[in-house]
Structure formats: C-alpha cells, structure tokens
Amino acid sequence: MTTTTPTSPTPPLPTPPAPKAGRPAVPSTDPAQWQGSSVFVQIRVLTGRSLRSLVTDPGVVLFGLLQPVIILFVLTQVFSKMGAPPHFPGGITYLDFVLSAVLIDNAVQSAVQSGVGLVDDLKNGVVARLRSLPIVPGTLLVARSISNLVRSAVQAVVILVLAVTVLGYSPRGGAAEVAASVGLTLFMSWSIGWAFIAAGAWLRRAEPMQNLAVIAILPLMFASSAYIPVADLPAWLRAVAEVNPLTYAIDATRALALGIPGGDAIVPALLIGGVIAAVGSTLAVLGFRRPL
C-alpha cells in the first residue's frame, strides 16, 4: 500500500502596494513591454538635438553666418566690375543675375555640412549609443536632412536681407515669386544634402568629405549658368553646363525671382532634385547600416 505525503498549499504571491494618492504610478521599464517611441517623435527629438548642437556652439553660428555673407559680397563686388557679357539679359544688374547663384551655392555648402555632421556622430559614439535603443536607424539621417534644411533657410534669409538693405537688391518678380525661388533653393539644398549624407555614411571621415566637396562644388558652380550665361562659355564648357544639374536649379530660381525667360527649367530642376534625394537616401541607409 502506497502512502502519499500531503503537500502544503503554495502561499500566494504578495500584492504590490497601490500607489499613494496624488503620486502617479511609475511606468514599467521592462524592455519587453516598451517598444520605443514613434518614428515621428524620434525624428523630432533627433532634429532638435542637431539644431541645438548648431546654435549652442558660437563658432558654428559665427562661421555659418559669415560664409554666405562673404560669398555674397565677394561675387557681387568682383564679378560686377568685369562688364556684362554679350548674352547678358537686358535691364538686369549683375547683382540681380548672380544672387540666385549665391543662394544655390550656399545651399550646396550647407548640404556638405549635413554629411560632415553625420561623420561627427559616427566618430563621437552617438550612433553607437543610439543603436542600443529601439530607434529606427533612418530617423537619424532624416533628422540630419531636416536640420540642414533649417540651416540653409536661415542663411538664405540672411543673404536676402543683406542684399536688399546693403546692396540695394530689388527683385522684379515680386514677393510671391521670390518666395517660390527661395523654396526651390531649399528643395535643392535638401536634395543635395542626401548625396552628402550618403557620402558621409560610406566614407566616415571628415577629410575625404571636405575634399569631395571641393572637387564636386567648384567645377559644378563654374561650369554652369551661375556667373555668366551659358551661351558665353567656351564650347566644351557650354556642353558641360547644359547637362549640369545646378544650371537647371539656377535658371529656375533666377527666372522666378526676376521674371525672365527660363521658367521651363523648373520642372527639370524638381525632377533632378527628386532623383538625387531618392538615390542619396537609399545609399545613405545602406551605408549607415554597416558595422561601426
């Protein structure tokens, strides 16, 4: 005959004390329960971080505002003394003609800084810390592109204010057309910024980024309609300018601001900017996902 030993009942688990009145319950920190914030919240927080790093550094603020000012005054004061080329638009001053190029040049320079900023984040450990959190990798790249857009917008406003108040710039197209011209400039800055973000994600070093910027920007700006009409360029340079993406952007912004022929370049400029943004963002995500 088999005897069974009676088992004692399992004591009940203690019930956690209820939170005191007036004190909210502490949210759970269990990783299995917290799935992270939404993508939009992540982009907002990371964009704010990028903008704070810009405005809290006096050197970045100073040189970021000096750069477009120097470009504006150097170009307008040096090239305006060289006389108008044969195909220069009639009734247009050189300041009117070159200001669109100054805005586009500033947009490209600002786009370079978005790639340099990503390189800094990759080197100082910020990206490594973010990868340990439930954060979508692409949100940091989007935040960089938005902060670049804000930076370019502030610089564009500084350029226009100085051109109007100091140099006597008076656009013929009207306020709405100038606003559309600036909007197209910012779109190009955002688009080209993705190309340099992709370069930063793959190169991951500041020195090659700076060299790439010089190699890319100088030929593209001078082999375009930035400083003289394309018809007045040498034959071989004219062929390059006619397929240069910056030529379409400059012609479109210039036509909007001055009310002159060239509005047919707006659609190609938007299409080119869209292609650059699509290809650049794809390559940026692929490069960013590589091991650190």
More confident site: 108 or 24: 108
In a domain, 104, yes or no: yes
In a domain, 34, yes or no: no
In a domain, 21, yes or no: no
Is 125 exposed, middle or buried, given 0-12, 13-18 or 19+ CB atoms closer than 10 A?
Answer: exposed
- Claim: this prediction has a pTM higher than 0.85: no
Q: How much of the chain exceeds pLDDT 70, in percent?
A: 86
Answer for the pair 171, 98: CB distance below 8 angstroms, yes or no.
no
Question: How far apart are alpha carbons 43 and 40 in whole angstroms?
Answer: 5
In a domain, 26, yes or no: no
Question: How far apart are alpha carbons 28 and 49 in whole angstroms?
Answer: 26
Q: What per-residue confidence (pLDDT) applies to 188?
A: 92
Q: What per-residue confidence (pLDDT) applies to 59?
A: 72
Which tokens belong to 184? 């197209």
Q: Which of 127, 111, 135 is nearest to 199 (CA)?
A: 111
pLDDT per position as a tens digit, 184-222: 999 999 999 999 999 999 998 888 888 888 888 888 888
Which tokens belong to 37? 């914030």
Residue 222 belongs to domain spanning:
39-288
Alpha-carbon distances of 141 from 28, 156, 187, 198, rounded to whole Å: 30, 23, 17, 9
In a domain, 1, yes or no: no
> How many Cβ atoms from other residues are within 10 Å of residue 166's Cβ?
12
More confident site: 29 or 111: 111
Q: How much of the chain exceeds pLDDT 90, in percent?
A: 24
In a domain, 181, yes or no: yes
Residues 6+ apart with CB under 8 A from 57: none
- pLDDT beyond 60 at 260: yes
- pLDDT beyond 70 at 83: no
Mean pLDDT of the chain: 82
Most confident stretch, 85-94, 222-231, 262-271, 276-285? 276-285
pLDDT per position as a tens digit, 18-61: 555 555 544 455 545 555 678 888 889 888 888 887 777 777 77
Is 250 exposed, middle or buried, given 0-12, 13-18 or 19+ CB atoms closer than 10 A?
Answer: buried
Which tokens belong to 253? 């912004």
In a domain, 155, yes or no: yes
In a domain, 271, yes or no: yes
Exposure string over 149-165, b if 16+ CB within 10 A, otherwise e: bbbbbbbbebbbeebee
Minimum mean pLDDT range among 101-105, 124-128, 228-232, 286-290: 124-128
Q: What per-residue confidence (pLDDT) applies to 30?
A: 53
Mean pLDDT of 147-153: 90
Q: What per-residue confidence (pLDDT) applies to 129?
A: 83
Q: What per-residue confidence (pLDDT) applies to 217?
A: 84
Q: How many domains does the chain have?
A: 1
pLDDT range class, residue 78, cuts 50, 70, 90: confident
Q: What per-residue confidence (pLDDT) applies to 77?
A: 77
